[in-house]
Amino acid sequence: MERGLTLKFAILVDFGSTYTKMVCVNIGERKVVATDKFPSTVHTDAAIGLCQCFDAARTAIGHENFKSALKLATSSAAGGLRMAVVGLTKAVSVEAGRNASFSAGAKIVFSMNGLISGKDLEEIEDAGAEILLLCGGYEGGNTHGLLHNATVLSESKLAIPVIYAGNSFVAQEIRKIFMNKGKECFLAENIMPVIGSLNIEPTADIIRNLFMNRITNMKGIGSVQKEMDAPIIPTPAAVLSAGALLCRGTKNEIGIGSFMLADIGGATTDIYSYIENKSFQGAKCIGSPEPFAKRTVEGDMGMRESSICLTRELGEKNLAERCGISETFLKEAIEKRIICKDYIADDSREKIIDYQIACSAVNISARRHAGYVAKEFNDGCCLVQRGKNLTEIKTIIGTGGIIVNEENPFPILENVRADASETGHILLPERISTLMDHDYVFFAAGLLRKYDEDAAISIMKRSLRLT
Amino acid sequence: MDIQIKRRFNEKELPDMQSVLGDAKKIASEFSIGETLFMKKHGVKSEAEYKRNMIKAGKLMKHSVIGWNSWSATEQGFKTVYKGLERAGSFIDRLGVALDWVMGVPKEYRNKFQAGGSLIFQTQEEWNALGQVVPVQPHLGDHMIGSLNSVENTVSGLRAGVTAIGNLAQYFTYEYPGLDLELYRTENYMKAIAIMAEFKDAGAVLHCNLDDGYGAQFHDVANLVGWAKLERYIAEELLGGRVAHTYGNLFSDSVLRIVFNRAMGMIDKYGTPGSFINGNTIDYGTDISRNYGALCSYSLADIICQMKYPSGYAIAPVPLTEAIRIPSAEEMIEAHCAVDMMMEKAPYYEKFINWEKINSEAEILVTGGNIFFERVINALDDLGIDINHAGQITGVLKAIGPEQLEVAFGVGAGDKNAMRGRVPIRPTSIIQTISKIQDDVISRQKFEETGPLTGMNVVVGSTDVHEFGKEIIKNVIKKAGANVFDLGTTVSIAEIADTLIETGSNVIALGTYNGMAYSFGKDLLISLKEANLEGIHVLMGGRLNEPVGGSDIPVDVSDMLREMGINADNNVDTIVDVIASYK
């Protein structure tokens, strides 16, 4: 990209499944000057949606500024990148693999630990993953389980790239096993080289790279890559990066400190948290170390296509009671949401259903994201902590359609709070303040931070109405 | 290296230095230092003034710690010790008083916690009584400055006439379970030091027992000197106080005690009299005869040092029963009398000591300490910490922790096989002891260059905070060729099965000391079974005991462990052969 030393404007686009969104930023003034969204055309030709976004930006900033503007994009089209994770133990290597996958912007459709059995293999093959992450073993540690799993996978029907991020002592051997069976295998540094250490970035880099190649080959989005100044990255990866900046701040602009972010979509609910993990009341932390910036995705927690799973989890009777409607009415309402992903609640009862689904999505997803403590072995280390301690989080930020469209979205977000029965067990905060990403700029800030961190943090603070 | 700062609060949220100093000045203006019987008797305004008089007069001082669990027992103990020593023709200058841990908690939280059974003062009158029983100067260390209640306790202590108050080291290593008020604690810590600073001309000094803080956790004495300098920088240069250090619990090498004292003198630019030199308690055990030898050897070194270079440090005669029970007043008197004899005999030794060598060793430590100090301060500056803000430095140093400080900024030469990756300039006594045991064991092993454990993966860990036994085992089996995975200390049963799988190991060697060997072993085997792990060999060593059958007294459980299939040989000489047999 060669546009001289000063960047004046940035046009930031997100190719989503439902909408293609645009945020245009005056970098010097650190302000959003235009936002717009258009029905997504990623399934036909993404260039149409992009053209509409560019037209809107051109109108806002003029032709000359448009020409010289920085143009970047994210994509969450087609439900994002679907991954499978196979490790040796659930709490250590699988958890590390999940963290790497989530931080790269992927969605996990299958994960397992241990030696892959015939039944496991069938499940992996049926999961519809686009990448498989094979991990496990500290450096110099387990090799037997890894070689077994690599052999089974290499002989399977799977035709997806495998990333190997386990004990590097057998990395070459494992790559050879896959190559000999005509399967792609990429090697990353060990995701957990020694006890107590997490090394997810190299794996996340490969995932992002594979994502870029995959969408380049996709009908629709591939055609718009050439209009951009940098590779298109997964939307959640950009949001994760933006949040880290907002938490810590820049040299010139103070951050807002630790926070969580909830993004409730039609198919998934994403929870992000930004805080260094620390032991709760001296508990012994076990399992994979937790990253400062953590993202989890719940594929069964969403407002539309996943609303059926959420209803199952809660129980139809329970949800109907909460909404003050009959179970029959609820059944029909959920069916409507599955069939029509773009459905907009059009009366007060439907709005209540949406509201209750959103509350439950936040409630359950936050609890899956958070760590917990339990008493174990009374005479020794009595309190054991698994997962991330979020008790000191001060703020929850909401983003996504339901949050922006709801008249009073803050009670939905307050569902992350630990209630009295959970205090001292589930590691969520007891008190929390709520904010809303009014202008949907987190993806844009994540793209922009590489070029101008001050502008990126400013647009987020303005969207949160902090300035 | 990347420094991991495990922050518990944002140090930038601390009040600025001006506000802290201003608040301290205001608080200090509202009261004055009380007068104890000791001050009256000696005609001084503070203990520091008394110590300076004693230095001039060439007289030594002595110190003891009182740790009884009620005021009436303490008061009686004061009298018994003072009068008993008087009767024996001996003396005591100062008494360290141990407060209950809940005294370190602000009053509004105290009712949530179970007190520990030591002294609790409810009113200022109760505090004042400390100095009114006998003419021995009280000293207040634990749960004062560095606790969650630093300011209130410091004010009470000063009003009671106590002029040596600490323990600065406790801020770094003592935690109040269930109360994570680190921002509050740090602000309180700064203010309490600044209040003491307001009284520095009246003789108030800040006590700090290095061995209670990072002294116990550093491996290199040179780094410890650098650490002491950091503490002085924070408390003296930034907050205006005067520091009186203590050390000794962990110094087994008698000559190192003298060298370290000289080094401490060299970094004390204000000439503040030291607090006391604690006894070498790491050599104390259940054998009273050996303890007697330890008392004589360390006290002789301390006495000789104070005779040649008097610097106000009191000698601490530790009762011979200290490792077995809370010593009685009579046992305290016995120890004092033994030390009195060492005082009589010390002059014969002092003149033959090679002081040139001692001072040159001390200079090596100071040079190393200066480098450590500079490296740490520069790194904090680079990390964006305000190096003129006492609280920011203190909070971040605690969040970095001693191990990282030593690994990243330590002054020993780099060596990947050394503990913490550096060869200490002068190892601490604990490290000397470990190295000696380790070297002895390794020298007794008779294997060729390729050790018998080559190709084997072994997991090691400790069930509690004790790490040195584990370190010895780790290095011995490493030397024998094993690929060792270290789970560290306070290992949880829940993490062992996962670690065995991820490491591909079938052997776990665990050290344990806290009297829970049987329960831990039993629960571990259940957990391994639940994880479907077969053919795992569990070895346990250390103190293999536990109270069983409803008794409170721990008994040896080695046989019970063996019955369950756990190796309880507890023998470092045979561990390599035992593990090799699992191949």
Candidate from B175, B486, B519 with C-beta closest to A195: B486
Tens digit of pLDDT for each residue in A44-61? 778 888 999 999 999 999
pLDDT at A453 over 70: yes
Q: What is the DSSP letter of B262?
A: H
What is the C-alpha to C-alpha distance for residues A413 and A433, in angstroms, rounded to an integer?
A: 9
Q: What is the mean pLDDT of residues B546-570?
A: 87
Can you read off the two tokens belonging to residue A96? 């590390």
Kind and range of the H or E run holding B398: helix B390-400
Least confident residue range of A178-182, A375-379, B255-259: A375-379
Reported CATH class of domain A79-213 = alpha beta
- Is A252 at the interface with chain B, CB within 8 A? no
Residue A322 confidence (pLDDT): 93
- Is B124 at the interface with chain A, CB within 8 A? no
CATH number of B14-353: 3.20.20.240
pLDDT at B324 over 80: no
Q: What is the mean pLDDT of residues A418-440?
A: 93
What is the C-alpha to C-alpha distance for residues B206 and B48, in angstroms, rounded to an integer?
A: 11
Closest CA to B497 of A192, A90, A95: A90
Task: Check whether the bond before B291 is cis (ω within 30° of 0).
Answer: no
Closest CA to B137 of B67, B196, B198, B50: B50
Interchain pair B495, A141: CB under 8 A: no
- Mean pLDDT, chain B, as a whole number? 92
Tens digit of pLDDT for each residue in B197-235? 999 999 999 999 998 888 778 999 999 999 999 999 999
Residue A381 confidence (pLDDT): 46
Closest CA to B36 of B163, B205, B192, B167: B163
> pTM for this one?
0.71
Burial class (CB in 10 A: 0-12, 13-18, 19+), A396: buried
Pairing of strands A131-134, A162-164: parallel
Burial class (CB in 10 A: 0-12, 13-18, 19+), B418: middle
A191 to A97, A105, B496: CA distances (angstroms): 7, 17, 19
pLDDT band (50, 70, 90) for residue A5:
very low
Exposure string for A209-228, b = 16+ CB within 10 A, e = fewer: ebbbebbeebebbbebbeeb
Interchain pair B487, A282: CB under 8 A: no
A398 to A325, A402, A416: CA distances (angstroms): 27, 9, 11
Of residues B346 and B556, more confidently modeled: B346
Residue A2 confidence (pLDDT): 45
pLDDT band (50, 70, 90) for residue B35:
very high
Half-sphere exposure of B513 (CA within 13 A, CB side): 11
Of residues B471 and A30, more confidently modeled: A30
pLDDT band (50, 70, 90) for residue A380:
very low
Using an 8 Å CB-CB cutoff, list chain B residues near A376.
Answer: 492-494
Q: Which CATH architecture has domain A9-75+441-463?
A: 2-Layer Sandwich (3.30)
* Region(s) of chain B under CATH 3.40.50.280: 445-580
Q: Which residues are registered as beta bridge partners of B208?
A: B245
Least confident residue range of A91-95, B155-159, B268-272, B513-517: B513-517
Amino acid at A464: L
Tens digit of pLDDT for each residue in A250-275? 999 999 999 999 999 888 899 999 99
A210 to A111, A232, A268, B136, B269: CA distances (angstroms): 19, 11, 22, 76, 62
Interchain pair A286, B494: CB under 8 A: yes
Q: Which residue of A has its CA nearest to B533?
A: A114
List Cβ neighbours of A300 (8 Å cut-off, separation of 6 or more).
A306, A309, A310, A313
Tens digit of pLDDT for each residue in B147-190? 999 999 999 999 999 999 999 999 998 878 677 789 999 999 99
Tens digit of pLDDT for each residue in B368-378? 999 999 999 99
Residue B429 confidence (pLDDT): 82
* Region(s) of chain A under CATH 3.30.420.300: 9-75+441-463
* CA angle at B565 for the pair B563 and B568, rounded to the nearest 5°: 85
Say what angle helices B390-400 and B182-198 make with each other, to 10 degrees: 130
Residue B201 confidence (pLDDT): 97
What is the C-alpha to C-alpha distance for residues A314 and A450, in angstroms, rounded to an integer?
A: 42
Residue B516 confidence (pLDDT): 85
Interchain pair A377, B523: CB under 8 A: yes
Residue A387 confidence (pLDDT): 95
What is the C-alpha to C-alpha distance for residues B291 and B283, in angstroms, rounded to an integer?
A: 7
Q: What is the mean pLDDT of residues A66-88?
A: 88
Residue B523 confidence (pLDDT): 92
* Region(s) of chain A under CATH 3.40.50.360: 79-213
- Mean pLDDT, chain A, as a whole number? 91
* Tokens 């740790």 belong to residue: B67
pLDDT at A341 over 50: yes
* Region(s) of chain B under CATH 3.20.20.240: 14-353
Q: What is the mean pLDDT of residues A110-137?
A: 96
Residue B36 confidence (pLDDT): 98
What is the C-alpha to C-alpha distance for residues A330 and B192, in angstroms, rounded to an integer?
A: 63
Interchain pair B504, A141: CB under 8 A: yes
Interchain pair B7, A284: CB under 8 A: no
A-to-B residue pairs, Cβ atoms closer than 8 angstroms: 91
Cβ atoms A384, A422 nearer than 8 A: no
Cβ atoms A128, A323 nearer than 8 A: no
Helix, strand or coil, per DSSP, at residue A259: strand
Instruction: Please identify among residues 439-468 of chain B the ones whose CB lies closer than 8 Å to any CB of chain A.
Output: 457, 463-464
For domain B445-580, the question of CATH label 3.40.50.280 is answered with yes
Candidate from B178, B502, B523 with C-beta closest to A92: B502
pLDDT at B552 over 70: no
- The edge-to-edge listing of strands for the beta sheet with A106-113 is A106-113, A81-87, A131-134, A162-164, A185-187
Of residues B487 and A340, more confidently modeled: B487
